[in-house]
Amino acid sequence: MHVAVQGVGDRTYERDDSDRCEGGRHRRPLREAIDEEEQRHDDDPPTYSEQRAEEACNQTYENEPREHRRIVRSVPHDDLVARLAEAPKSAAILLDVDGTLAPIVPRPEDARVPDEAREELHRLAARYGLVACISGRTGADARRLVGVESVRYVGTHGLELEPEAERWRDPLHDFSATVDWPVEDKGLSVSFHYRMAEDEDAALEYLEEIAERARGAGLVPRFGRKVLELRPPVHADKGTAVRHLLGEGGLRRVLYAGDDTTDLDAFGALDGLELAVRVAVSSDEAPAELVRRADVVVDSPAELLDLLCRL
Protein backbone atom coordinates (compact mmCIF):
# COMPACT_ATOMS: atom_id res chain seq x y z
CA MET A 1 0.00 0.00 0.00
CA HIS A 2 0.98 3.64 -0.13
CA VAL A 3 1.13 5.38 3.23
CA ALA A 4 0.74 9.12 2.71
CA VAL A 5 2.80 11.25 5.07
CA GLN A 6 2.00 14.92 5.34
CA GLY A 7 5.23 16.81 5.86
CA VAL A 8 6.14 20.30 6.98
CA GLY A 9 5.18 22.85 4.34
CA ASP A 10 2.31 20.67 3.04
CA ARG A 11 4.67 18.46 1.06
CA THR A 12 3.38 14.91 0.62
CA TYR A 13 5.53 11.81 0.50
CA GLU A 14 4.58 8.27 -0.36
CA ARG A 15 6.28 4.94 0.21
CA ASP A 16 5.26 1.47 -0.85
CA ASP A 17 4.46 -0.68 2.18
CA SER A 18 2.61 -3.63 0.69
CA ASP A 19 3.84 -5.90 3.48
CA ARG A 20 2.79 -3.51 6.25
CA CYS A 21 -0.52 -2.32 7.70
CA GLU A 22 -3.47 -1.64 5.45
CA GLY A 23 -6.89 -0.23 6.03
CA GLY A 24 -8.20 1.51 9.09
CA ARG A 25 -10.28 4.46 10.01
CA HIS A 26 -10.86 8.00 8.72
CA ARG A 27 -8.22 10.32 10.13
CA ARG A 28 -9.63 13.23 12.09
CA PRO A 29 -8.20 16.61 11.05
CA LEU A 30 -5.41 17.70 13.40
CA ARG A 31 -6.84 20.29 15.73
CA GLU A 32 -4.48 22.91 17.04
CA ALA A 33 -3.08 21.71 20.38
CA ILE A 34 -4.04 24.11 23.14
CA ASP A 35 -2.70 24.68 26.62
CA GLU A 36 -6.12 25.05 28.27
CA GLU A 37 -7.50 21.59 28.84
CA GLU A 38 -10.93 20.66 27.54
CA GLN A 39 -13.08 17.70 28.49
CA ARG A 40 -12.50 14.67 26.27
CA HIS A 41 -15.31 12.16 25.76
CA ASP A 42 -14.51 8.54 25.10
CA ASP A 43 -17.97 7.06 25.61
CA ASP A 44 -17.81 5.01 22.42
CA PRO A 45 -14.35 3.47 22.00
CA PRO A 46 -13.80 1.28 18.91
CA THR A 47 -14.45 -2.43 19.21
CA TYR A 48 -11.38 -4.58 18.67
CA SER A 49 -11.32 -8.22 17.59
CA GLU A 50 -8.65 -10.69 18.64
CA GLN A 51 -6.22 -11.31 15.81
CA ARG A 52 -2.57 -12.23 15.44
CA ALA A 53 -0.17 -9.37 14.76
CA GLU A 54 -0.07 -9.74 10.99
CA GLU A 55 -3.88 -9.99 10.85
CA ALA A 56 -4.19 -6.95 13.12
CA CYS A 57 -2.13 -4.89 10.70
CA ASN A 58 -4.74 -5.56 8.01
CA GLN A 59 -7.75 -5.08 10.29
CA THR A 60 -10.50 -2.58 9.45
CA TYR A 61 -12.03 -0.96 12.55
CA GLU A 62 -15.71 -1.71 12.99
CA ASN A 63 -18.24 0.80 11.71
CA GLU A 64 -15.60 2.74 9.78
CA PRO A 65 -15.09 2.99 6.00
CA ARG A 66 -11.96 1.26 4.75
CA GLU A 67 -9.40 3.97 4.01
CA HIS A 68 -5.68 4.40 4.42
CA ARG A 69 -4.77 5.88 7.78
CA ARG A 70 -1.97 8.41 7.55
CA ILE A 71 0.48 10.12 9.80
CA VAL A 72 -0.38 13.76 10.41
CA ARG A 73 3.12 15.23 10.19
CA SER A 74 6.61 13.86 9.68
CA VAL A 75 10.08 15.17 8.99
CA PRO A 76 9.97 16.20 5.30
CA HIS A 77 13.48 15.31 4.25
CA ASP A 78 13.82 11.83 5.67
CA ASP A 79 11.74 8.81 6.58
CA LEU A 80 12.97 8.30 10.13
CA VAL A 81 10.66 5.36 10.73
CA ALA A 82 12.05 3.46 7.76
CA ARG A 83 15.61 4.15 8.88
CA LEU A 84 14.86 2.85 12.37
CA ALA A 85 13.40 -0.35 10.94
CA GLU A 86 16.55 -1.06 8.91
CA ALA A 87 18.51 -2.21 12.00
CA PRO A 88 15.95 -3.28 14.62
CA LYS A 89 18.28 -5.22 16.92
CA SER A 90 20.27 -2.04 17.61
CA ALA A 91 17.14 0.05 18.25
CA ALA A 92 14.59 0.57 21.02
CA ILE A 93 10.84 1.23 20.97
CA LEU A 94 9.78 3.15 24.09
CA LEU A 95 6.12 3.94 24.74
CA ASP A 96 3.91 5.72 27.20
CA VAL A 97 0.74 3.77 28.10
CA ASP A 98 -2.34 5.88 28.93
CA GLY A 99 -3.31 8.06 25.98
CA THR A 100 -0.65 6.42 23.82
CA LEU A 101 -1.33 2.68 23.75
CA ALA A 102 -4.61 2.84 25.69
CA PRO A 103 -7.23 5.49 24.83
CA ILE A 104 -7.97 7.93 27.65
CA VAL A 105 -11.11 7.07 29.61
CA PRO A 106 -12.85 8.94 32.47
CA ARG A 107 -11.58 6.48 35.11
CA PRO A 108 -7.96 5.17 34.90
CA GLU A 109 -9.03 1.75 36.18
CA ASP A 110 -11.23 1.34 33.08
CA ALA A 111 -8.39 1.86 30.59
CA ARG A 112 -7.73 -0.93 28.08
CA VAL A 113 -4.97 -1.67 25.60
CA PRO A 114 -6.58 -3.06 22.41
CA ASP A 115 -5.80 -6.67 21.49
CA GLU A 116 -4.28 -5.54 18.18
CA ALA A 117 -1.78 -3.36 20.05
CA ARG A 118 -0.82 -6.26 22.32
CA GLU A 119 -0.18 -8.51 19.34
CA GLU A 120 1.91 -5.80 17.70
CA LEU A 121 3.99 -5.37 20.86
CA HIS A 122 4.66 -9.13 20.86
CA ARG A 123 5.98 -8.83 17.32
CA LEU A 124 8.10 -5.76 18.05
CA ALA A 125 9.61 -7.29 21.21
CA ALA A 126 10.88 -10.24 19.17
CA ARG A 127 12.28 -7.97 16.47
CA TYR A 128 13.86 -5.01 18.34
CA GLY A 129 16.69 -4.75 20.83
CA LEU A 130 14.33 -3.33 23.43
CA VAL A 131 10.62 -2.61 23.71
CA ALA A 132 9.60 -0.88 26.94
CA CYS A 133 6.66 1.00 28.45
CA ILE A 134 7.45 4.00 30.64
CA SER A 135 4.29 4.89 32.52
CA GLY A 136 2.93 7.13 35.22
CA ARG A 137 1.29 4.01 36.62
CA THR A 138 3.30 1.65 38.77
CA GLY A 139 5.33 -0.83 36.77
CA ALA A 140 3.14 -3.66 38.04
CA ASP A 141 -0.05 -1.87 37.01
CA ALA A 142 1.38 -1.01 33.58
CA ARG A 143 2.31 -4.69 33.11
CA ARG A 144 -1.23 -5.71 34.06
CA LEU A 145 -2.81 -3.22 31.67
CA VAL A 146 -0.55 -3.88 28.67
CA GLY A 147 -0.32 -7.61 29.33
CA VAL A 148 2.77 -8.42 27.23
CA GLU A 149 5.45 -10.23 29.24
CA SER A 150 8.21 -9.69 26.70
CA VAL A 151 7.98 -5.90 27.17
CA ARG A 152 10.01 -4.07 29.85
CA TYR A 153 8.02 -1.89 32.27
CA VAL A 154 9.17 1.18 34.20
CA GLY A 155 6.63 2.81 36.49
CA THR A 156 5.88 6.15 38.18
CA HIS A 157 7.68 8.17 35.51
CA GLY A 158 11.03 6.52 36.26
CA LEU A 159 10.92 6.88 40.06
CA GLU A 160 11.01 3.09 40.43
CA LEU A 161 14.59 3.17 39.09
CA GLU A 162 15.77 5.62 41.78
CA PRO A 163 16.40 4.05 45.25
CA GLU A 164 16.34 7.42 47.06
CA ALA A 165 12.67 7.85 46.13
CA GLU A 166 11.67 5.07 48.50
CA ARG A 167 12.01 7.16 51.67
CA TRP A 168 9.30 9.51 50.40
CA ARG A 169 6.65 6.80 50.28
CA ASP A 170 5.27 7.52 53.77
CA PRO A 171 5.40 11.35 53.50
CA LEU A 172 3.45 11.16 50.23
CA HIS A 173 0.86 8.88 51.79
CA ASP A 174 0.53 11.09 54.89
CA PHE A 175 0.10 14.25 52.82
CA SER A 176 -2.52 12.71 50.53
CA ALA A 177 -4.54 11.70 53.60
CA THR A 178 -5.02 15.41 54.36
CA VAL A 179 -6.51 16.17 50.93
CA ASP A 180 -10.29 16.08 50.59
CA TRP A 181 -10.19 14.49 47.14
CA PRO A 182 -10.11 10.91 45.81
CA VAL A 183 -6.48 9.84 45.55
CA GLU A 184 -4.72 7.38 43.28
CA ASP A 185 -1.84 6.16 45.46
CA LYS A 186 1.01 4.81 43.32
CA GLY A 187 3.40 4.32 46.22
CA LEU A 188 6.15 6.66 45.01
CA SER A 189 3.68 9.28 43.77
CA VAL A 190 0.03 10.19 44.29
CA SER A 191 -2.46 11.55 41.77
CA PHE A 192 -5.69 13.53 42.06
CA HIS A 193 -7.85 13.24 38.94
CA TYR A 194 -10.53 15.81 38.10
CA ARG A 195 -11.77 14.54 34.73
CA MET A 196 -15.13 13.57 36.25
CA ALA A 197 -15.58 16.68 38.41
CA GLU A 198 -18.94 18.43 37.99
CA ASP A 199 -17.21 21.82 38.04
CA GLU A 200 -13.74 21.51 36.50
CA ASP A 201 -12.83 25.14 37.14
CA ALA A 202 -13.58 24.80 40.84
CA ALA A 203 -11.76 21.46 40.97
CA LEU A 204 -8.69 22.93 39.32
CA GLU A 205 -8.70 25.92 41.67
CA TYR A 206 -8.83 23.56 44.68
CA LEU A 207 -6.06 21.34 43.35
CA GLU A 208 -3.86 24.36 42.62
CA GLU A 209 -4.14 25.16 46.33
CA ILE A 210 -3.14 21.58 47.10
CA ALA A 211 -0.16 21.96 44.78
CA GLU A 212 1.01 25.00 46.75
CA ARG A 213 0.65 23.10 50.03
CA ALA A 214 2.61 20.22 48.55
CA ARG A 215 5.49 22.52 47.61
CA GLY A 216 5.58 23.72 51.20
CA ALA A 217 5.83 20.09 52.33
CA GLY A 218 8.83 19.50 50.09
CA LEU A 219 6.95 17.60 47.39
CA VAL A 220 6.94 18.31 43.65
CA PRO A 221 3.51 18.94 42.06
CA ARG A 222 2.91 18.53 38.35
CA PHE A 223 -0.28 18.91 36.35
CA GLY A 224 -1.10 16.63 33.41
CA ARG A 225 -4.21 15.66 31.48
CA LYS A 226 -6.95 16.41 34.04
CA VAL A 227 -4.72 15.32 36.91
CA LEU A 228 -2.45 16.70 39.61
CA GLU A 229 0.45 14.43 40.48
CA LEU A 230 2.62 14.82 43.57
CA ARG A 231 6.13 13.37 43.46
CA PRO A 232 9.15 13.24 45.76
CA PRO A 233 11.95 15.79 45.19
CA VAL A 234 14.10 13.23 43.43
CA HIS A 235 15.69 13.79 40.03
CA ALA A 236 13.74 11.16 38.17
CA ASP A 237 11.41 11.46 35.21
CA LYS A 238 10.72 9.76 31.92
CA GLY A 239 13.92 11.27 30.57
CA THR A 240 16.11 9.65 33.22
CA ALA A 241 14.24 6.38 32.62
CA VAL A 242 14.96 6.60 28.89
CA ARG A 243 18.68 7.21 29.53
CA HIS A 244 18.78 4.31 31.98
CA LEU A 245 17.15 1.86 29.60
CA LEU A 246 19.23 2.87 26.59
CA GLY A 247 22.40 2.80 28.65
CA GLU A 248 21.73 -0.76 29.82
CA GLY A 249 21.60 -2.02 26.25
CA GLY A 250 24.03 0.41 24.66
CA LEU A 251 21.30 1.47 22.24
CA ARG A 252 21.51 4.78 20.35
CA ARG A 253 18.59 4.41 17.93
CA VAL A 254 15.13 4.87 19.42
CA LEU A 255 11.48 5.75 18.86
CA TYR A 256 9.58 7.24 21.77
CA ALA A 257 5.82 7.89 21.70
CA GLY A 258 3.79 9.83 24.27
CA ASP A 259 0.84 12.18 24.69
CA ASP A 260 1.37 14.38 27.73
CA THR A 261 3.60 16.88 29.51
CA THR A 262 5.72 14.21 31.23
CA ASP A 263 6.70 12.85 27.82
CA LEU A 264 8.59 16.05 27.07
CA ASP A 265 11.31 14.80 29.44
CA ALA A 266 11.61 11.65 27.34
CA PHE A 267 11.79 13.70 24.14
CA GLY A 268 14.68 15.68 25.61
CA ALA A 269 16.56 12.50 26.52
CA LEU A 270 16.75 11.57 22.83
CA ASP A 271 18.95 14.55 21.96
CA GLY A 272 22.36 13.55 20.64
CA LEU A 273 21.48 9.97 19.75
CA GLU A 274 22.40 8.37 16.44
CA LEU A 275 18.73 8.25 15.42
CA ALA A 276 15.71 9.55 17.33
CA VAL A 277 12.03 9.49 16.38
CA ARG A 278 9.81 11.54 18.69
CA VAL A 279 6.13 10.70 18.23
CA ALA A 280 3.37 12.85 19.74
CA VAL A 281 -0.10 11.35 20.11
CA SER A 282 -2.16 14.51 19.66
CA SER A 283 -5.51 15.41 21.21
CA ASP A 284 -7.43 18.46 22.38
CA GLU A 285 -5.58 18.05 25.69
CA ALA A 286 -2.07 17.53 24.32
CA PRO A 287 0.44 20.22 25.31
CA ALA A 288 1.39 22.42 22.37
CA GLU A 289 5.08 21.97 23.18
CA LEU A 290 4.82 18.20 22.72
CA VAL A 291 3.36 18.60 19.24
CA ARG A 292 5.92 21.28 18.36
CA ARG A 293 8.91 19.14 19.34
CA ALA A 294 7.69 15.92 17.73
CA ASP A 295 9.16 14.47 14.56
CA VAL A 296 5.89 12.64 13.87
CA VAL A 297 2.39 13.53 15.08
CA VAL A 298 -0.51 11.08 15.06
CA ASP A 299 -4.10 11.75 16.02
CA SER A 300 -4.86 8.77 18.26
CA PRO A 301 -3.62 5.48 19.73
CA ALA A 302 -5.17 3.77 16.68
CA GLU A 303 -2.97 5.79 14.35
CA LEU A 304 0.07 5.07 16.53
CA LEU A 305 -0.66 1.37 16.03
CA ASP A 306 -0.64 1.96 12.29
CA LEU A 307 2.80 3.55 12.65
CA LEU A 308 4.11 0.70 14.81
CA CYS A 309 3.04 -1.78 12.16
CA ARG A 310 5.56 -0.16 9.82
CA LEU A 311 8.49 -0.94 12.12
Domains and CATH numbers, the chain: 2-28+47-159+236-308 (3.40.50.1000), 163-231 (3.30.70)
Residue 49, amino acid? S
Which pLDDT belongs to residue 18?
A: 37
96 catalytic residue (yes or no) = yes
- Cα separations in angstroms, 213 against 100, 261, 271: 31, 22, 35
Q: Where are the alpha helices (DSSP H) in 192-273?
A: 200-216, 238-249, 263-269
The distance in angstroms from the start CA to the end CA of the chain is 15
Catalytic residue chosen out of the listed positions 96, 237, 259, 295: 96
What's the rounded Cα separation, in Å, for the pair 175 and 181?
Answer: 12
Per-residue confidence of the chain (311 residues) as pLDDT tens digits?
333 333 333 322 233 343 445 433 333 333 333 233 333 333 443 333 333 444 445 443 343 333 334 455 544 334 899 999 999 999 999 999 999 999 999 888 899 999 999 999 999 999 999 999 999 999 999 999 999 999 999 999 999 999 999 999 999 999 999 999 999 988 899 999 999 999 999 999 999 999 999 999 999 999 988 999 999 999 999 999 999 999 999 999 999 999 999 999 999 999 999 999 999 999 998 999 999 999 999 999 999 999 999 99
- Cα separations in angstroms, 123 against 88, 128, 151, 168: 12, 9, 10, 38
- Supply the pTM of this predicted model: 0.73
Contact 155, 139 (CB under 8 A): yes
Contact 279, 257 (CB under 8 A): yes
Which pLDDT belongs to residue 108?
A: 86
DSSP label at 251? Answer: -
User: What's the gap between Cα 109 and its chain centre?
Assistant: 17
- Cα separations in angstroms, 117 against 55, 124, 179, 269, 303: 12, 10, 37, 25, 11
